[in-house]
Amino acid sequence: MPAVVIVGAQWGDEGKGKATDLLGSRVDYVVKFNGGNNAGHTVVIRNPDGTAETYALHLLPSGILSPGCVPVIGNGVVVDLSVLFEEIDGLEARGIDTSRLVVSANAHVIADYNRTLDKVTERFLGSRKIGTTGRGIGPTYADKMNRLGIRIQDLFDEKILRAKVEGALELKNQILTKVYNRRAVEVDEIVEELLSYTERLRPMVADTSLLLHDALREDKTVLLEAGQATLLDVDHGTYPFVTSSSATSAGACTGSGIPPTEITRVIGIVKAYATRVGEGPFPTELFDEDGERLRVNGHEFGTTTGRPRRCGWYDAPVARYAARINGVTDFVLTKLDVLTGWDRIPVCVAYDVDGERVEEMPTTQTGFHHAKPIYEYFEGWSEDISGAREFADLPKSAQTYVEALEQMSGSRISTIGVGPGREQTIVVHDLL
Ligand code: GDP
Ligand code: IMO
Ligand code: MG
């Protein structure tokens, strides 16, 4: 009864989608347990004739692309229903069967006023903004904690739905009109939009915690796929420059209803360098031509918002922190191919924080903002490694680089990505 968790070990976009897709054919369920359509996962699948199909997924679990695997949207997710059906229709139009999708009755719904509030709050914050994706994620999770949220199950009881929307708008309209100078939102407008999805949604909705409990009893394999990443986690990330959900392995339990005692493995996805989208501290960030070269070679432009990603060198204390917080049993090191062509590759091994050498994540926000990377330099390689399928196929200096990262990062590196395609993968230790 394996329950395996996949988490991002940095600031997101590590290649979680590819890793989930890679295991998709061997697992019975793939569960998205946090976040919403702030996520963007690009999955590239090669057709038998050699051409490639590229899929960009936001709300749907990446397992949707694997026939036979049941994709589940867990209770910890916030669901934008218009995006859900747009994504389903888009995949169906490309011949992907989405009929197995199951959605938790307890997942929260992103109402239109929360998309508006996300955007106006960011504008209001000015230079203090977070750089959110503008999808309404933060305000929807705030409503959940504030007990003002609308859940999927509310759509099946119009009276309850109306009462909840009325309750939420009593407060929201004050904020929209008096703080942000926007027009008030009509209860009917919101209720009507949400009800328009009810019939299409009905057959997908289930008690997903019970479903997964039964699946594990039947010895099925469940893969729990995080959106975002450790450093964007609301508790363990670089707060306040984080997302509003629990993106670490513990979140897989609250966000799915699977207890911690069921989790058998935690896979941390880590890029061979580092990227970040939005605001917030990033010690190894590069502002020079190396940064631009990483961005261009790695196609580091957001899948969700198209924003150029901030790029920098590998940060070992961050990876070590992710290993500790998540209990990472295996790392998947992605995008090693992007580092091809550098004479030497710096790796941040510790920080200089106000003149003091610090080996681990600084305790305070101020400490992390002041952290300057202390680099160790590794020999680069110039050979094209995108065709490597065994560790021994890698040039010696690439092998040394991977072994050094493994040694510094607190867990073994079990898989290495050398390209975006499913097959462009070196498996050192099997992940299941
Ligand atoms: P996610 O949000 O963690 O799923 O990651 P994204 O999909 O946002 O970003 C990762 C990008 O890198 C995608 O475009 C992937 O197709 C691509 N990718 C994943 N693994 C590799 C790899 O090993 N090498 C290269 N070159 N690209 C990769
Ligand atoms: P995946 O799953 C990278 C960032 C945003 C912003 C902050 C808060 O593709 O790795 P939000 O809209 O969530 O309130 O924004 O979090 N962010 C991501 N960055 N990858 C993601 O998802 C992200 N999801 C949110 O850029 O800085
Ligand atoms: Mg992404």
| pLDDT tens, position by position, 243-259 | 999 999 999 999 999 99
286 and 384 assigned to the same domain: yes
> Which of residues 169, 203, 237 is at a domain's end?
203
**Which atom of ligand 1 is nearest the CA belonging to 418?**
23
Nearest ligand by distance to the CA of 117: 2
**Which atom of ligand 2 is nearest the CA belonging to 8?**
10
Tell me the C-alpha distance between 11 and 242, whole Å. 9
Confidence of residue 1 (pLDDT cuts 50, 70, 90): low
- Per-residue pLDDT of 131-160, as tens digits, reads 999 999 999 999 999 999 999 999 999 999
Q: Average pLDDT of 60-77?
A: 95
- Per-residue pLDDT of 251-287, as tens digits, reads 999 999 999 999 999 999 999 999 999 999 999 999 9
432 part of a folded domain: no
Nearest residue (by CA) to ligand 1, atom 18, is 420
> Which of residues 173, 203, 233 is at a domain's end?
203
Q: Are 56 and 25 in contact (CB under 8 A)?
A: no
- pLDDT greater than 90 at residue 227: yes
Q: Domain count of the chain?
A: 2
Q: What is the CATH number of the domain that holds 282?
A: 3.90.170.10
Query: Around Cβ 362, how many Cβ atoms within 10 Å?
Result: 19
Nearest residue (by CA) to ligand 2, atom 13, is 243
Distance of CA 317 to the CA centre of its chain: 20
Q: Average pLDDT of 92-120?
A: 97
Confidence of residue 376 (pLDDT cuts 50, 70, 90): very high
Tokens at 227, concatenated: 């959106």
**Which atom of ligand 2 is nearest the CA belonging to 35?**
13
**What pLDDT, on a 0 to 100 scale, did the predictor assign at position 50?**
85
- Per-residue pLDDT of 170-180, as tens digits, reads 999 999 999 99
Q: How does DSSP classify residue 272?
A: S
The three-point CA angle 387-389-393 to 5° equals 80
308 and 380 assigned to the same domain: yes
Distance 361 CA to ligand 1 centre (A): 25
Q: What percent of the chain has pLDDT over 70?
A: 100
Q: How many CA atoms lie within 13 A of 3 on its CB side?
A: 24
Query: Is 41 marked active-site?
Result: yes
Q: What is the CATH number of the domain that holds 150?
A: 1.10.300.10
- pLDDT greater than 80 at residue 126: yes
**Which atom of ligand 2 is nearest the CA belonging to 229?**
10
- pLDDT greater than 70 at residue 102: yes
Torsion on CA atoms 309, 310, 313, 317, rounded to nearest 10: -100
35 part of a folded domain: yes
For 124-218, where are the E strands, in sequence order?
205-206
Ligand 1 pocket, Cβ-based, cut-off 6 angstroms: 8, 12-18, 39-42, 44, 299, 303, 334-335, 337-338, 417-420
Confidence of residue 304 (pLDDT cuts 50, 70, 90): confident
Distance 165 CA to ligand 2 centre (A): 27
375 and 307 assigned to the same domain: yes
**What pLDDT, on a 0 to 100 scale, did the predictor assign at position 329?**
98
Q: Are 404 and 319 in contact (CB under 8 A)?
A: no
397 and 348 assigned to the same domain: yes
Distance 16 CA to ligand 3 centre (A): 8
217 and 166 assigned to the same domain: no
Distance 117 CA to ligand 1 centre (A): 30
The catalytic residue among 41, 58, 108, 236 is 41
Q: Are 143 and 168 in contact (CB under 8 A)?
A: yes
Tokens at 342, concatenated: 């550098």
231 part of a folded domain: yes
- Is 319 exposed, middle or buried, given 0-12, 13-18 or 19+ CB atoms closer than 10 A? buried
Q: Average pLDDT of 207-223?
A: 98
345 and 327 assigned to the same domain: yes
238 part of a folded domain: yes
For a mutational test of ligand 1's pocket, the pick from 45, 335, 402, i.e. the residue with the most ligand atoms closer than 8 A to its C-beta, is: 335
Average pLDDT, the chain: 97
- pLDDT greater than 80 at residue 240: yes
52 and 173 assigned to the same domain: no
326 and 287 assigned to the same domain: yes
328 and 257 assigned to the same domain: yes
Q: Is the CB of 135 under 6 A from ligand 2?
A: yes
Distance 303 CA to ligand 3 centre (A): 6
Distance 227 CA to ligand 2 centre (A): 8
Which residues pair with residue 56 across a beta bridge? 42
Query: Is 58 marked active-site?
Result: no
> Which of residues 203, 229, 248 is at a domain's end?
203
- pLDDT greater than 90 at residue 47: no
- Is 7 exposed, middle or buried, given 0-12, 13-18 or 19+ CB atoms closer than 10 A? buried
Q: What are phi and psi of 348, to 5 degrees?
A: -75, 120
Containing 71, the helix (H) or strand (E) segment is strand 70-73
- pLDDT greater than 70 at residue 183: yes
Q: Is the CB of 131 under 6 A from ligand 2?
A: yes
Q: Is the CB of 138 under 6 A from ligand 2?
A: yes
Structural domain boundaries, residue 369: 3-103+207-427
- pLDDT greater than 90 at residue 46: no
For a mutational test of ligand 1's pocket, the pick from 42, 267, 293, i.e. the residue with the most ligand atoms closer than 8 A to its C-beta, is: 42
